[in-house]
Structures are given as C-alpha cells and as structure tokens.
Amino acid sequence: MDLLRSLPLGLYLEQPVTWLHRLDARTKLAWLMSFLAAPLLANATWRIVLVGLLILITLTARVPLRVWKQQMGWLLLVGFLVMTVIMVTPDGLAISHQPRLPQPVAVNGDGDSADFPPAEELPQLPQPTGYRYILFRQGPITITQQSVALGIRVSTLLFTLIYATNLFLLTTAPEEITAAMEVLMRPLRKLGLPVTEIALTVTLALRFIPLVLEEVQNLVRSVRTRAINWKKLGFRRAAQIWMMIAERLLQNLLLRAEQISGAMEVRGFTSPNEHRVQWHQFKFRFWDGLALGGLLLFWWGRLELGGIL
C-alpha cells in the first residue's frame, strides 16, 4: 500500500493553485482555529453544518479528486462506524438499577399493610407530546435520544478536527504556516518566549512528516518482498519481528534528523535570529478581507444555531 498516496497527511499540494492557496496564511489560520473551537459546547445541528461546510469548501476550491476522495471517504466511514457503535451501546441513563430505599407500603382502611402495584401494572397515561426517549428497541439493542446525540457529537468532532487540519496543510506551504505563526506570536516576545525558535521547530516538524511516511512505506515494502508466513511464526516471533521493524524505523528517522542538522550546520546556521530567511511577504488582499468577513458570519451562525457559549 502506498502510504504517500492513500494518506496524504501533512503534504502540500503545489498544483493546481486553488483559491485556498491564494488566501493569506494568517486568514486560513484564523479559519482553522475557528473550525477547531466552534464544535465546543455546540449542538448536533451545528456540528453537522461544520461537516457540510468543510465538504463544500473542498468542492468549491476544486481540489483534485484523487487527493481528497480516499481520505474523506475513510474519515466518513470511520465517523459512521463510531456513530453506529455509540448508538447501540448503553447511554448510561436508561440502565436499570436497584432502588436504594425499600418499596413503599400502603395502609388500607382495616389497618393492614398492602404493597403498591409494580410500575408495569400501572395504567399507561397518554403523553402530551410525541417525544420518545427510546427510539428503537429490538432484543439487546436499544437506541435512545442520548445515544444518538452522543454518536453525532463524537463522529462529527472526529471528522472536523482531522479534515480541517489536513485541508489547511494541503493548501498552505509549511514556510507560510510557520511565518504566519511567528507574525501572530510576536507580542509574546515581550514575555520572553522564543518565538523564532518555536517557528523553526514547527517548520522542521512539518518537513519531517513526509519523511516519516516514506520510511514507513519503505519498511512495509521490504517486509512484503520477503513473503513472511505470519501464521507459522506465532505470536512471539511475529512480535519480535515487529519490534525489529520499529527499531529500524527509529534508527532511520534519527539518521534523517542527523542529516538535516548536518545540512543546517554546513550552511552556517547558528541561531534563528542570526540566520533568518524571509520566505513570504504577507499582504492582505480583497479576498482575505472577504474571508475575514465570512468568519464573522461564521461565528454569528455559531451563536445563533450552535447554542450560546
């Protein structure tokens, strides 16, 4: 399996250039933070709106189908499975329990005690509304209002957090991301925080993600070419082989990190403040102002449809 094609995590799409590419990195970073913060304390309706909005942005940006179809398909499938599992599991509210107090005793006119009839024998009164807490019950499977709401919250949150971050990385170069973060964190320098060092660390981390995927892909291919019969090995020997593979992966990653550090030293890099390269000149354009105006509408909809924070 080609991990670089099936799971394009942290990869930057250089071509084609979409309208998302043309937006300022600071604008896209503000939208990303909004997508990550908007689901908090929101109702199910707003969470579903966020999922639909992410899909709409992907379609209107005309991102190539080969880039996002497999990842979005896997995320939707995982979200559907998570929602299904949560829906059929007990929600914690409808579980039968033993009462702490003894059953009350009624006294008749003769002074003799008489037990109250059980709840099953009480007359069923008509309900004033059509609301039902238990939506479906068949054998051991019970679906309630609480389980459906919990399933929607977890599945939509999983999709929103992963796909919004991936769409941001897909349409923003790593250098733009770190430069935008450095610009936005400049006021923190007054507190003594190493803003430039943090931006450099983020740059190296984003550049290192494709290298990790490549090393994993090479190791998986090397294991497949050896045609190992895992059934005959047993659990112990199979675990030993996987430990060897993990050790080899760690060695390769440390070697790559050493090569990167050596390349930086050869180029005379001593510290971020003394050896800085300005990759981008940020400038707000008309479309950035339009996107920021849309962000205000986004938060207005969050307060109106998603509930008060």
Q: How far apart are CA 23 and CA 176, in angstroms?
A: 11
What is the average pLDDT across 241-250?
87
Measuring CA to CA, which residue among 139, 136, 157, 156 is closest to residue 87?
136
CA-wise closest residue to 304 among 42, 31, 36? 42
Residue type (1 letter), 237: R
Average of pLDDT values for 70-80?
A: 83
Please name the residue ranges forming H helices in the chain: 3-6, 19-22, 25-37, 44-60, 65-88, 145-170, 174-184, 195-225, 230-266, 286-305
Here the tokens at position 248 are 């080899």
User: What would the two tokens of residue 24 be?
Assistant: 């300022």
Please count the residues of the chain: 309
3-class DSSP assignment, residue 43? coil
- For the cut 60, the answer to whether the pLDDT of residue 113 exceeds it is no
Is the CB of residue 86 less than 8 Å from the CB of residue 151? yes
Q: In which band, very low, low, confident or very high, does the pLDDT at 3 lie, cut at 50, 70 and 90?
A: very low
Q: Could you tell me which of 38, 63, 69, 285 has the C-alpha nearest to residue 172?
A: 63
Per-residue model confidence as pLDDT tens digits over 260-290: 778 777 766 666 666 555 556 677 788 888 8
Q: What is the mean pLDDT of the chain?
A: 79
**DSSP code at position 262:** H
pLDDT above 90: residue 257: no
CA distances from 308 to 39, 45, 79, 158 (A): 12, 13, 26, 22
**Dihedral of alpha carbons 171, 173, 176, 181, sign:** positive
CA 45, CA 235: separation in Å to the nearest integer?
Answer: 46
Supply the pTM of this predicted model: 0.72
272: nearest Cα among 193, 173, 206 = 193
The CB density around residue 304, as the number of other CB atoms within 10 Å, is: 10
* CA nearest to 217, candidates 254, 244, 252, 241: 252
Cα–Cα distance measured from residue 96 to residue 308, given in angstroms and rounded to the nearest whole number? 33
Q: Is the pLDDT of residue 103 over 70?
A: no
* Domains of the chain, residue spans: 1-93+133-172+284-309, 195-277
Lowest mean pLDDT among 97-106, 194-203, 230-239: 97-106
